[in-house]
Amino acid sequence: MADRFYCPGAWPDGRAELLDDEANHLARVCRINVGDQVILFDGRGHNALAQVAEIGKRKVDLIILDPALPDRGLPSPFILATAVPKGDRFDWLVEKATELGVTQLVPIITKRSVVDPRSSKLDRLRRQVIEACKQSGRGALMEVTQPTSWSDWLRLAATTNYRFIAHPAEAESVPSLDIAGGISVTIGPEGGLTDEEVGEAISRGFRPISLGPLILRIETAAVAASAYLIQQALAQSTGARS
């Protein structure tokens, strides 16, 4: 597979350019030369095959060869709402959620939350999303939102037809999923969600699901739940079309 580079904005007249960090990465890290072919993605689901035309000190000019390569992203929203783990564990969570195809990650503030990420950390995490998109082949960036209160999250989740909450005490079986309906899953903090929070979510149509008999850390639960639900939805969607 050709190397991938983030190139936001339009590609008018069949040309594009990489600037600053992306240009440096192409020329000096990947050591790509004039005439070589690469893949560009704009962060909105568009991918293009391009050929390097000129390499400057801080800019690389490219010619678009195929402006409509297929995208590997999910066809509908998958929202992961999660309490924020301590230290660099959130970095790992963001990377893996991007690779899995999560479309939006919402850091939630609950009664037992202990970490509220600052804007500077969120900016760094968004750069990490770009790197994970390069590696995984997806063309649309996963959105990392500002920290969101519990009540605001419950209202936002109403935009998805299927809403799940990791809570083994009242777990239900996962129903047949239509990926087109949009899916969201909620992961609480290390101390767990309060009974009041769980009850409020269930009253708004959330289904409790179990991730097994063992107690998982936030980032493990987030990745396990996302991977399971995404695969279930994709498998059922494929089966429905066959």
**Spacing of C-alpha 90 from chain mean position:** 13
What is the mean predicted confidence (pLDDT) over 192-206? 95
Do residues 87 and 57 both lie within one domain? Answer: no
Final residue belonging to a domain, choices 49, 69, 89: 69
Average pLDDT of the residues in 168-180 = 76
Return the pLDDT at 180.
80
Please check whether residues 138 and 46 belong to one and the same domain.
Answer: no
Q: What's the confidence (pLDDT) of residue 133?
A: 94
With a CB cutoff of 8 Å and minimum separation 6, the contacts of 159 are: 77, 182
Per-residue tokens: 19: 């600037």
Tell me: do 109 and 187 sit in the same domain: yes
In this structure, the answer to whether residues 101 and 31 fall within a common structural domain is no
> Which of the four pLDDT bands, split at 50, 70 and 90, describes residue 157?
very high
Shared domain for 110 and 145, answered yes or no, is yes
Question: Residue 238: pLDDT band by 50, 70, 90 thresholds?
Answer: low
| 181/127 same-domain check | yes
pLDDT over threshold 70, residue 1? no
For residues 35 and 85, state if they share a domain. no
Same domain, 100 and 20: no
Count of the separate structural domains present in the chain: 2
What percentage of the chain has pLDDT greater than the value 90?
70
The predicted-structure confidence for 93-124, as pLDDT tens digits, reads as follows 999 999 999 999 999 999 999 887 777 777 88
Residue 201 belongs to domain with CATH number: 3.40.1280.10
Q: Do residues 132 and 99 lie in contact, with contact meaning Cβ atoms separated by under 8 Å?
A: yes
- 27 vs 237 pLDDT, higher one: 27
Query: Which residues, 6 or more positions from 216, have their beta carbon under 8 angstroms from its beta carbon?
Result: 224
pLDDT tier at 237, thresholds 50, 70, 90: low
Asked whether residue 215 falls in the same domain as residue 189, the answer is yes
Q: What average pLDDT does range 39-46 have in this prediction?
A: 93
Structural domain range at position 203: 78-241
Mean pLDDT of the chain: 90
Domain final residue, candidates 45, 69, 93: 69
pLDDT band at 140, cuts 50/70/90? very high
Compute the average pLDDT of residues 123-145: 92
Are residues 115 and 212 both part of a single domain? yes
Considering 69, 96, 115, which residue would you say is the last residue of a domain?
69
Does residue 239 register a pLDDT over 60?
no
